[in-house]
Amino acid sequence: MEEKYDLNFMDAYLDKEYIYAVSRESNIFFRAKRDNGYSVEILGVINGFRNIYTGKIYAVQYYQNSLYMFADSTYEVARYDFESRKISYYCPAEQEEGFDIVRGSCRIGNEVWILRDSFVGKLCVFSLEDCSYRFFDLDISILINSIRQKNVKRVSKENVCPVGNKVWRCIPGTNFLCAIDVTTKRVELHKVESDIEIFTISHDAQGFYLISIFGDYVIQWDENRGVIDKKVINGGEKTFKAFRDILHVNGGYILLPNTSEHIKFLSEAKGMIEECELPSQFHRIGSAKGLFFHYLLENDKLLLFPFGGNGLIEMDTNTLQSKYHPIRILKEECIKVLLAENKAVTESEMASLDSYISLLGSDYCMRKKEYSPDGAIGRRIMKTIEGSV
């Protein structure tokens, strides 16, 4: 039986026929047919970024017959044109900001705001219309003067909420929220009157929802009224960064796991937490700490994208029953595509010994030698050989 490889990804674009995404492990750009068991068609490989450490895609936006895919480490963007089926790449004229700088993003009209750490007063705005960049220096003195930075917890990716004329984010590990005025770029600081350290922020028509960093409380908050409600979740059990997001549905709230292994439902009628069973075929894969990162709500159907899992989860928000949809390709097909694109596949543990050794002398590996200053390539060869003999 031919071995298959699970494609996990952070974000995706869906139309009536297909789901479009980029595999987080291999950077393979693909589409999966929704009414045919999510059968996969490979469209290319995202490997044209200038910064060699860039690669993983964390956000996807559709605009005027093109798909824009945002790197999770720098300001670089890949654009797929549906008509020509070609991929183009964009980055600022001067990429002096460095690596691992993106903390969150959101779309406002035909622009995407790309945010750095709260205490770095830089805002990057990418235009979907002409693929141009604009940069703004933010006055963050109110943050510096009000918050002890040593209390702030680092989060690789934050939720960012555009609401009205402001863009909201929380300051993880504190009880403060930060808002940026869309027009003036003025930075505001709002204190949540609670001693609970906040991990993430969400928003819907009912207001803001704040999840504690230990996954034991959820707070409903309003800019004018302050704290509206505070609920104990997860039985009061403390699990660091347990839940990534919260979604208000009919009858309660769905809590999406981060480090937790389970989806939880907080019933408004019962006032208690219920555990939602995931399909037995679903399990965690790879090194990602988070289980899900992005999701899409289609009427009463919640689609959870497999950031740290081995398939897409489709949940009925009325019954809380879930379906499992594997999104897979043959390993040999994956290897052939990546070799043809001159893209190393070793980090995903997919290549055969012959395929791996054939990569070692490639131009790609020579350009990537910064990854292995201490002889890691040699140790990898020995491990591969030992495991194959």
SS (H, E, C) 147-192: CCHHHCCCCCCCCCEEECCEEEEECCCCCEEEEEECCCCCEEEEEC
Of the chain, the percentage scoring pLDDT greater than 90 comes to: 43
Greater pLDDT, 40 or 344: 40
pLDDT at 2 over 90: no
Count how many Cα atoms sit within 13 Å of the Cα of residue 266 in the half-sphere of its side chain: 22
pLDDT at 337: 82
196 vs 233: CA distance, rounded Å: 13
Contact 12, 314 (CB under 8 A): no
**Dihedral sign computed on CA atoms, order 369, 370, 375, 378:** negative
Q: Are 345 and 353 spatial neighbours (Cβ–Cβ below 8 Å)?
A: no
Considering only residues 356 and 342, tell me which one the structure prediction assigns the higher pLDDT: 342
**CA–CA distance, 74 with 112 (Å, rounded to integer):** 14
Question: What does the pLDDT look like over 214-256, one tens digit per residue?
Answer: 888 899 999 999 999 888 886 777 888 888 888 888 888 899 8
Question: What is the residue-averaged pLDDT of the chain?
Answer: 83
What tokens appear for 63 in the block?
């605009």
Q: Rounded to an integer, what distance in angstroms lies between the CA atom of residue 312 and that of residue 23? A: 13
The CATH 2.130.10.10 portion of the chain extends over 4-340
Report the Cα 382 to chain-centroid distance in Å: 34
What's the pLDDT at 98? 62
Contacts 24+ apart (CB under 8 A), 106-110: 106/160, 106/161, 106/162, 106/167, 107/61, 107/162, 108/162, 108/167, 108/182, 110/63
Q: Which span out of 198-202, 231-235, 373-377 was modeled with the highest average pLDDT?
A: 198-202
Q: Fill in the DSSP letter of residue 385.
A: H
Contact 157, 72 (CB under 8 A): yes
Q: Is the pLDDT of residue 55 over 70?
A: no
Q: Are 79 and 67 in contact (CB under 8 A)?
A: yes
How deeply is 369 buried, as exposed, middle or buried, from its count of CB atoms within 10 A (0-12, 13-18, 19+)?
exposed
Q: Distance between CA 357 and CA 294 in Å, rounded?
A: 36
Beta-ladder partners of 178: 169, 189
pTM: 0.84
Question: Can you give the pLDDT at residue 365?
Answer: 40
Confidence of residue 364 (pLDDT cuts 50, 70, 90): very low
**Average pLDDT in the 249-278 region?**
82
pLDDT attached to residue 236: 73
Q: For residue range 279-329, what is the model confidence (pLDDT) as tens digits?
A: 889 888 766 667 788 888 888 899 999 888 889 999 999 889 999 999 988
Cβ–Cβ < 8 Å for 25, 347: yes
- The pLDDT value given to residue 271: 67
Q: What is the pLDDT of residue 172?
A: 92
Q: What number of other Cβ atoms are within 10 A of residue 231's Cβ?
A: 16
More confidently predicted of 13 and 52: 13
- pLDDT of 150: 73
Q: What pLDDT sits at residue 382?
A: 58
Question: pLDDT higher for 349 or 331?
Answer: 331
Element (H, E) at 334: helix 331-340
Confidence of residue 144 (pLDDT cuts 50, 70, 90): very high
CATH of 4-340, one of 2.130.10.10, 2.60.40.420, 1.50.10.10, 3.90.1570.10: 2.130.10.10
Which of the two residues, 365 and 94, has the higher pLDDT score? 94
- pLDDT of 367 strictly over 80: no
Looking at residue 35, what is its pLDDT? 86
